[in-house]
Protein backbone atom coordinates (compact mmCIF):
# COMPACT_ATOMS: atom_id res chain seq x y z
CA UNK A 1 0.00 0.00 0.00
CA UNK A 2 1.24 3.46 -0.84
CA UNK A 3 1.39 6.22 1.73
CA UNK A 4 0.92 9.99 1.65
CA UNK A 5 3.59 11.36 4.02
CA UNK A 6 2.89 14.66 5.76
CA UNK A 7 5.61 16.52 3.84
CA UNK A 8 4.28 15.28 0.50
CA UNK A 9 0.77 16.44 1.50
CA UNK A 10 2.09 19.89 2.42
CA UNK A 11 4.08 20.11 -0.82
CA UNK A 12 0.96 19.34 -2.84
CA UNK A 13 -1.14 21.82 -0.87
CA UNK A 14 1.49 24.53 -1.43
CA UNK A 15 1.44 23.70 -5.14
CA UNK A 16 -2.34 24.14 -5.26
CA UNK A 17 -2.11 27.39 -3.31
CA UNK A 18 0.56 28.75 -5.68
CA UNK A 19 -1.64 27.80 -8.65
CA UNK A 20 -4.61 29.66 -7.12
CA UNK A 21 -6.65 26.49 -6.59
CA UNK A 22 -8.71 26.52 -3.40
CA UNK A 23 -8.89 23.08 -1.82
CA UNK A 24 -10.40 21.70 1.35
CA UNK A 25 -9.17 18.48 2.90
CA UNK A 26 -11.51 15.60 3.52
CA UNK A 27 -10.80 12.12 4.82
CA UNK A 28 -7.97 11.13 7.13
CA UNK A 29 -5.71 14.10 6.55
CA UNK A 30 -8.66 16.43 7.27
CA UNK A 31 -9.14 14.74 10.63
CA UNK A 32 -5.46 14.97 11.48
CA UNK A 33 -5.23 18.58 10.26
CA UNK A 34 -8.16 19.54 12.49
CA UNK A 35 -6.48 17.76 15.40
CA UNK A 36 -3.17 19.46 14.58
CA UNK A 37 -1.21 16.21 14.61
CA UNK A 38 -0.80 13.07 12.55
CA UNK A 39 -2.50 10.17 14.33
CA UNK A 40 -2.03 7.45 11.70
CA UNK A 41 -0.55 6.79 8.24
CA UNK A 42 -2.61 7.97 5.27
CA UNK A 43 -2.95 6.21 1.93
CA UNK A 44 -3.84 9.35 0.01
CA UNK A 45 -4.78 13.01 0.18
CA UNK A 46 -8.54 13.59 -0.18
CA UNK A 47 -9.31 17.03 -1.57
CA UNK A 48 -12.44 18.97 -2.41
CA UNK A 49 -12.31 21.71 -5.00
CA UNK A 50 -14.55 23.62 -7.38
CA UNK A 51 -15.31 21.80 -10.62
CA UNK A 52 -14.13 24.86 -12.54
CA UNK A 53 -10.60 24.30 -11.15
CA UNK A 54 -10.33 20.74 -12.51
CA UNK A 55 -8.54 21.62 -15.78
CA UNK A 56 -5.88 23.60 -13.91
CA UNK A 57 -5.49 20.86 -11.28
CA UNK A 58 -5.09 18.18 -13.94
CA UNK A 59 -2.59 20.35 -15.79
CA UNK A 60 -0.27 21.08 -12.89
CA UNK A 61 -0.41 17.53 -11.58
CA UNK A 62 -0.04 16.07 -15.08
CA UNK A 63 3.16 18.10 -15.44
CA UNK A 64 4.40 16.33 -12.31
CA UNK A 65 3.62 12.82 -13.51
CA UNK A 66 0.17 12.29 -11.99
CA UNK A 67 -2.29 10.32 -14.09
CA UNK A 68 -5.95 9.40 -13.57
CA UNK A 69 -6.36 5.89 -12.19
CA UNK A 70 -8.90 3.53 -13.70
CA UNK A 71 -12.47 4.04 -12.49
CA UNK A 72 -14.07 7.06 -10.95
CA UNK A 73 -16.35 9.71 -12.36
CA UNK A 74 -15.98 13.26 -13.61
CA UNK A 75 -16.54 14.56 -10.09
CA UNK A 76 -14.60 11.89 -8.16
CA UNK A 77 -11.39 10.27 -9.36
CA UNK A 78 -7.92 9.38 -8.15
CA UNK A 79 -4.70 10.83 -9.52
CA UNK A 80 -1.50 8.85 -8.88
CA UNK A 81 2.17 9.25 -9.70
CA UNK A 82 4.98 6.71 -10.19
CA UNK A 83 6.14 7.24 -6.59
CA UNK A 84 2.85 5.88 -5.25
CA UNK A 85 1.36 9.23 -4.18
CA UNK A 86 -2.42 9.38 -4.62
CA UNK A 87 -4.86 12.27 -4.56
CA UNK A 88 -8.56 11.46 -4.24
CA UNK A 89 -10.33 14.34 -5.99
CA UNK A 90 -13.89 15.40 -5.16
CA UNK A 91 -15.08 18.21 -7.42
CA UNK A 92 -18.23 20.18 -6.76
CA UNK A 93 -20.16 23.27 -7.70
CA UNK A 94 -20.94 25.83 -5.02
CA UNK A 95 -24.51 27.18 -5.01
CA UNK A 96 -25.61 30.74 -4.22
CA UNK A 97 -25.66 29.94 -0.48
CA UNK A 98 -22.13 28.51 -0.44
CA UNK A 99 -23.23 24.88 -0.19
CA UNK A 100 -21.10 22.39 -2.10
CA UNK A 101 -23.11 20.33 -4.57
CA UNK A 102 -21.35 17.04 -5.25
CA UNK A 103 -22.62 14.69 -7.98
CA UNK A 104 -22.31 11.11 -6.76
CA UNK A 105 -21.68 8.08 -8.93
CA UNK A 106 -25.38 7.17 -8.81
CA UNK A 107 -26.28 10.57 -10.32
CA UNK A 108 -27.72 12.01 -7.14
CA UNK A 109 -26.42 15.21 -5.58
CA UNK A 110 -24.93 15.26 -2.08
CA UNK A 111 -25.09 18.70 -0.48
CA UNK A 112 -22.17 19.74 1.73
CA UNK A 113 -23.49 22.53 4.01
CA UNK A 114 -21.73 25.87 3.58
CA UNK A 115 -20.72 25.93 7.25
CA UNK A 116 -18.76 22.73 6.66
CA UNK A 117 -16.17 24.62 4.63
CA UNK A 118 -15.15 26.69 7.66
CA UNK A 119 -12.81 24.04 9.06
CA UNK A 120 -9.17 24.88 9.57
CA UNK A 121 -6.19 22.83 10.59
CA UNK A 122 -2.45 22.35 10.33
CA UNK A 123 -0.13 19.78 8.81
CA UNK A 124 3.49 20.21 9.90
CA UNK A 125 2.59 23.76 10.92
CA UNK A 126 1.14 24.58 7.47
CA UNK A 127 -2.34 26.12 7.66
CA UNK A 128 -4.93 24.20 5.65
CA UNK A 129 -8.62 24.37 4.92
CA UNK A 130 -10.57 21.26 5.79
CA UNK A 131 -14.12 20.21 6.33
CA UNK A 132 -15.38 21.08 9.78
CA UNK A 133 -15.41 18.23 12.31
CA UNK A 134 -19.23 18.17 12.20
CA UNK A 135 -19.33 17.75 8.42
CA UNK A 136 -16.56 15.16 8.51
CA UNK A 137 -18.78 13.10 10.82
CA UNK A 138 -21.79 13.75 8.58
CA UNK A 139 -19.84 12.45 5.56
CA UNK A 140 -18.85 9.30 7.43
CA UNK A 141 -22.43 8.74 8.58
CA UNK A 142 -23.79 8.27 5.05
CA UNK A 143 -22.90 6.38 1.93
CA UNK A 144 -20.56 3.61 3.08
CA UNK A 145 -19.68 1.28 5.89
CA UNK A 146 -16.85 2.90 7.87
CA UNK A 147 -13.63 0.96 8.39
CA UNK A 148 -11.96 0.66 11.78
CA UNK A 149 -9.69 3.64 11.00
CA UNK A 150 -12.75 5.75 10.17
CA UNK A 151 -14.41 4.86 13.48
CA UNK A 152 -11.23 5.84 15.32
CA UNK A 153 -11.03 9.12 13.38
CA UNK A 154 -14.63 9.96 14.34
CA UNK A 155 -13.93 9.13 17.99
CA UNK A 156 -10.95 11.50 17.94
CA UNK A 157 -13.14 14.27 16.53
CA UNK A 158 -15.76 13.57 19.16
CA UNK A 159 -13.18 13.64 21.97
CA UNK A 160 -11.53 16.88 20.80
CA UNK A 161 -14.51 18.84 19.46
CA UNK A 162 -17.52 17.27 21.18
CA UNK A 163 -19.09 16.24 17.88
CA UNK A 164 -22.05 13.91 18.40
CA UNK A 165 -21.62 10.57 16.65
CA UNK A 166 -24.57 8.71 15.12
CA UNK A 167 -25.15 5.30 16.73
CA UNK A 168 -23.64 3.32 13.85
CA UNK A 169 -20.36 5.25 14.17
CA UNK A 170 -20.03 4.31 17.83
CA UNK A 171 -18.10 1.19 18.70
CA UNK A 172 -19.80 -1.09 21.15
CA UNK A 173 -17.99 -1.40 24.48
Q: What does 27-77 look like in DSSP terms, one character per residue? A: HHHHHHHHHTS--S--S-EEEEEEGGGHHHHHHHHHTTT-EEPSS--SSEE
Confidence of residue 141 (pLDDT cuts 50, 70, 90): confident
Higher-pLDDT residue of 18 and 139 is 18
- pLDDT for the residue 4: 97
Phi, psi at 48, each rounded to 5°: -115, 135
CATH number where 143 lies: 3.30.460.40
Residue 171 lies in a domain: no
State which residues form the domain around 82: 6-162
What is the tens place of the pLDDT at every residue in 50-91? 999 999 999 999 999 999 999 999 999 999 999 999 999 999
Residue 58 lies in a domain: yes
pTM of the model: 0.94
Residues 94, 108: Cα–Cα separation, whole Å: 16
Model confidence at 143: pLDDT above 70: no
Residue 18 lies in a domain: yes
Model confidence at 96: pLDDT above 80: yes
Query: CA angle, 109 as apex, 108 and 115 as ends, to 5°?
Result: 155
Model confidence at 34: pLDDT above 70: yes
Burial of 82 (C-beta count, 10 Å sphere; 0-12/13-18/19+): exposed
What is the tens place of the pLDDT at every residue in 105-121? 888 999 999 999 999 99
- pLDDT for the residue 1: 55
Residue 87 lies in a domain: yes
Residue 109 lies in a domain: yes
Model confidence at 170: pLDDT above 80: no
Confidence of residue 146 (pLDDT cuts 50, 70, 90): confident
How many domains are there within the chain?
Answer: 1
Residue 49 lies in a domain: yes
Amino acid sequence: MSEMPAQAAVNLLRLFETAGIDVWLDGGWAVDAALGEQTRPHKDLDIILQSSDLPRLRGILGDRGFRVKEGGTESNFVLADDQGLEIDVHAMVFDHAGNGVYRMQNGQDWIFPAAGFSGRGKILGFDVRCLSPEVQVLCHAHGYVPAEKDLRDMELLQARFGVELPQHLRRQA
